[in-house]
Every structure is written in structure tokens, then in C-alpha cells.
Amino acid sequence: MTALDDKLLGEKLQYYYSSSEGEDEDSEKEDKEGESSIPEGVGEVELCSDGSAVNTGPKGVINDWRRFKQLETEQRQEQRREMERLIKKLSMTCRSHLDEETDKQKQKELQEKINGKMTLQEYNMIHNDEDDEEFLQRYRKQRMEEMRQQLYSGQQFKQVFEITSGEAFLDTVDKEHKSTLIMIHIYEEDIPGTESLNGCMICLATEYPTVKFCRVKSSLIGASARFTNNALPALLVYKAGELIGNFVRITDQLGEDFFAVDLEAFLQECGLLPEKDLVLLTSIRNPSACYSEDSDLEID
């Protein structure tokens, strides 16, 4: 039957269309198109030893390069952070050392200020946070030591010297050591206040042994009668050959009857007496302190 059909159809077989044949052709065409749509070099896949796939094509190389650059950037950032931590650590160490040096400098400045007779006001301006009482104790101790050294260093006089001539007067003023304070009482007998000033100088000579107390009659230094009658008793203060205190008729300030404490307070007020160590000194109100066996004068 099949052969008969073929004969009847004859040459028309070549024009016969089978649905199955069309499907086969379509599938073959799709396979060819699918193969042509795959980019070159993309399908190349290799397997690692652990079974994972590794893309060795161009895209894989690009991805590997990007991953490498990312790791490189992260490494640089980590190095930068490590460097910053190191710089911070070193800077903290440097600051600590600088703080120690600053503290040492402050202590040095404090000692220099104390040695230079620093006032409490100056100290408070620099160190407001330090305890005032503790500072005052240290300052008093330092000043006591300085005054003790000043009071008991160099020549000690401890008496009132009588000047017997004009030449001796000049020698006393000009030839004494430049650091020595000299107080000279110019007097004449029976002048009001002369006796009080003599007694005060005897007392002060024992209290201020580094001060040279002297007295001289006005007639021995060529003073005029007018000076004698109007300016006595007079107290002259010299240092390094220069007249730094001149008190004529001192009774106008102290009266005719005065005591050593009055004269001392007056001279201290004028800044003409050195500071004395209150711990080592005896009271000038004590009569025994107003007498010296080496003195040329006695109190009646």
C-alpha cells in the first residue's frame, strides 16, 4: 500500500510537508542559535581540586584583579591605621615627658622666687592651687635662714663707739665696709633727748650686731653753735660712704623721753634697719638686754 501511494503521488512527494519533520528542523535550528549566542571564552570553566568552579576567562581575570586591588586597598588602610596608633602612642609619651619637665621648671621657678624674697601676691598669681599655709611655712623658714645669715655674717659690733675727732668721723664713714650700716649720734651734753637717744642706741647695738652705732660731740666735727642749739640731738645714717638718713632734732619725731622700741619702730618705718631674726633675739624691753660690758656708755 505504501508503494502504491508513492506511485500515485509521484513527484509530489518532494512537496509533502510533515509536521514531525518541521519540529525536527526547528529543534536543530534552535540548537544552532543557542550555540551561536554563547560568547566566546565564557564557557571555559575549570574545576579546582576541591570541586569548586574557577572561571579562567576574561571576566574571571577582571574579577580576580578587582579582588586583588580591594585586598591591597584594605591592607594600606590597615597600615595607615596602625601608623596612626603608633603616632598617637608616641605623642602621648612625649607629652608625659614634657609634663614632667614643666613640673620641674615650676618647682625651680618657685625656689628662685623664694630665694629672691618672693611676695605672697606673686606666688598666688603663679600657683593659685597650692595651699597658702604650707607655702607660708616654707617661705618663713627660708626667710629666717636668710636673715640669720645676714645677721650673723661679717663683722659684729654689739656696742656704741665713741668718735674722738673729725678725722675719725671721716674714717668711720668712708673706710668701713660698703655693706655695713653706720648710725652716728651727734650730741652735746645737757641737750634734751640726748640721754634717751644714748640709751636707745646701747640697746639696739646688742639687737643689731651688724650695725655700727657711734656717737660724736658736735664740737669735735666743727659744727656751728647754731647747729648745736637747733639740730641736736641728731642721728645720721650712712652706708657705703653715702648719707641715707638725716634726722636733725629727732626729738621732734619721738619726744624728749623715748625708749628703744620707739626708736627701733621709727627706723624700721623709714627702712633703715635690717630685718632681724625674731626667734634668736631677746626682747629689747628686758633691761638686761640694754646693757653691754663692752659698751662705752651706761644707763643711769
The torsion angle over the Cα atoms of residues 168, 169, 170 and 173, rounded to 10 degrees, is 120
In the chain, the percentage of residues whose pLDDT exceeds 90 is 21
Q: Which residue has the higher pLDDT, 63 or 264?
A: 264
Euclidean distance between CA atoms 20 and 17, whole angstroms = 9
The pLDDT of residue 297 is 44
Residue 215 has what pLDDT? 94
Per DSSP, the three-state class of 2 is helix
pLDDT of residue 151: 55
pLDDT at 223: 85
Mapped onto helix, strand or coil, the DSSP state of residue 129 is coil
Residue 81: all three cell numbers together: 591605621
Q: How far apart are CA 258 and CA 193, in angstroms?
A: 8
> How many angstroms separate the CA atoms of 285 and 289, rounded?
8
- Under the banding of pLDDT at 50, 70 and 90, the label for residue 74 is confident
Secondary structure of residue 19 in the 3-state scheme: helix
Q: What is the pLDDT of residue 282?
A: 38
Indicate whether 155 pLDDT > 80. Answer: no
Q: Which are the contacts of 55, defined by CB distance < 8 A and separation ≥ 6? A: 44, 45, 63
* pTM over 0.75, yes/no: no
Convert the pLDDT of each residue in 223-250 to its tens digit: 888 888 888 899 999 998 899 999 999 9
Q: What is the mean pLDDT of the chain?
A: 73
- The label of the residue with cell 618663713 reads 140
Chain centre distance of CA 219:
60
Indicate if the pLDDT at residue 296 is higher than 70.
no
- The DSSP code sequence of 172-213 is HHHSS-TT-EEEEEEE-TT-TTHHHHHHHHHHHHHH-TTEEE
| DSSP structure string for 236-291 | EEEETTEEEEEESSTHHHH-SS--HHHHHHHHHHTT-S----TTTPPPTTSGGGG-
The full set of domains in the chain, from first to last, is 94-151 (no CATH), 160-290 (3.40.30.10)
- Burial of 111-128, coded b for 16+ CB within 10 Å and e otherwise, reads eebbeeebeeeebeeeee
pLDDT-wise least confident of 51-55, 104-108, 136-140: 51-55
The whole-angstrom separation of Cα 184 and Cα 173 is 9
pLDDT at 298: 43
